[in-house]
Amino acid sequence: MNARSNEPESLPIALQSMFADLVERAWTGNLRDLVSKGGSPYAREVRGRSYWYWQPATEQGRRPSARYIGPDNEQTRTRLQTLKDHADNLRERRDLVRALRAARLPVPDTMSGDILAAMAEAGVFRLRAVVVGSMAFQTYPGLLGHRLAATLSRTGDLDVGQFQTIAIAVEDRIDDDLQSVLRFVDPRFEAVPDAFDGRRTQRYALRRGRDEIFSVDILSPMRGPETSRVAALPAIRSDAQMLRYLDFLLYQEVNSVALHGAGIPINVPDPTRYALHKLIVSQMRRHDDAQSQAKSRKDLDQAAALITILSKARPHDLQDLWQELCERGAAWREKATRGLASLPPRIALALGADIQMDTRHSPANRQPAEDMEEEVSREATNPIGHG
């Protein structure tokens, strides 16, 4: 923050451009790894929309399965052309990472970075899995062009989410199951079984004796009646915990990069959705536990920091998405407005929110929550949501 105001410090334009360049190079490099053994791209129509896939070359008389690349848009076509035009750019990417780290942009710890690298290499993020939580927050200074307090991005675990409908629709999957990918980083990673169904995996944990020193949680949105706590995500070959409110966060994810190694291409939530989702999450923590309350305070601080930046950079997006959240139903609105009430009035003002009025939102002025969920479900069924 600037010493004389609540305004976050802006990053120099050169650093913002450097981060954007690294995002593009990392994602192009991720595709280069995919196509390194030969083959050719082709377009396929799915539910009326066109998507690009890579058909690997035939090996020993066997035709491998096609691998998903992305939607038929300018960004994907440019990356495909770049694959043909440029040599390996790993050295240039490492130079960019070193420069950005030297400029004090947030970096993942070694364990998190190694896990993200292994997941990216396996294809987890190419298949539209999304890094959520504080690990995603670490990338927002580069994406938004403003510094954020380092204390807000510290974390001791990794959360990754994916729509179950996307996991099925992309018609592709990673070669090894997710536990094998994690064990490539550290062979001590164990699958933690679900408390109600020991055959299903709730999360992955790395322990030293009885102490858990790192965990990886795989998440997926729960919509409609609660039928199961755990769902299968075939694309990334893992089970996932089903959580309410997660669909708002995962919808229309954005490409980013973790400043580790040569830059790890990852997906993160749109920062506006992240900020508003944190208002809800802050009210779902336990009130009788000091650690949970500390996390709740961190949720609110992250939301406030992002909303402060977004109110200047993307004011209309911020207010439109606040309206969308409120239109999803009373439970959404009540939790979010309770979170807002714990923050300075300028935060609610930036959203165009009247906290007292929002709690009495007129049903005549909102789209039914069921219709909103159908809209999100239709988009999630398409292999890519930001085409």
What are the tens digits of pLDDT across the range 129-180?
Answer: 999 999 999 999 999 999 999 899 888 899 999 998 888 888 889 999 999 9
In whole numbers, what is the pLDDT of the chain averaged over residues?
A: 85
Q: Are strands 190-193 and 157-161 parallel, antiparallel or unpaired?
A: unpaired
Q: Which two tokens stand for residue 361?
A: 């939102």
CA 5 to mean position of chain CA atoms:
30
- Give the separation between CA 332 and CA 321, rounded to whole angstroms: 13
Interior angle at CA 297, CA 292 and CA 303, nearest 5: 125
Helices 290-313 and 271-281: crossing angle in degrees, nearest 10, is 150
**Per-residue pLDDT tens over the stretch 306-316:** 999 999 999 99
> In this predicted structure, what is the pLDDT of residue 29?
80
Amino acid, res. 261: G
> In this predicted structure, what is the pLDDT of residue 170?
80
Cβ-Cβ contacts under 8 Å for 240 (sequence gap 6 or more): 161, 162, 164, 218, 219, 220, 230, 231, 232, 233
pTM, two decimal places? 0.81
Domain extents for the chain?
Answer: 13-381
**Per-residue pLDDT tens over the stretch 210-227:** 888 999 999 999 987 776
| Burial state string for 299-313 with b = 16 or more CB within 10 A and e = fewer than 16 | bbbbbbbbbbbbbee
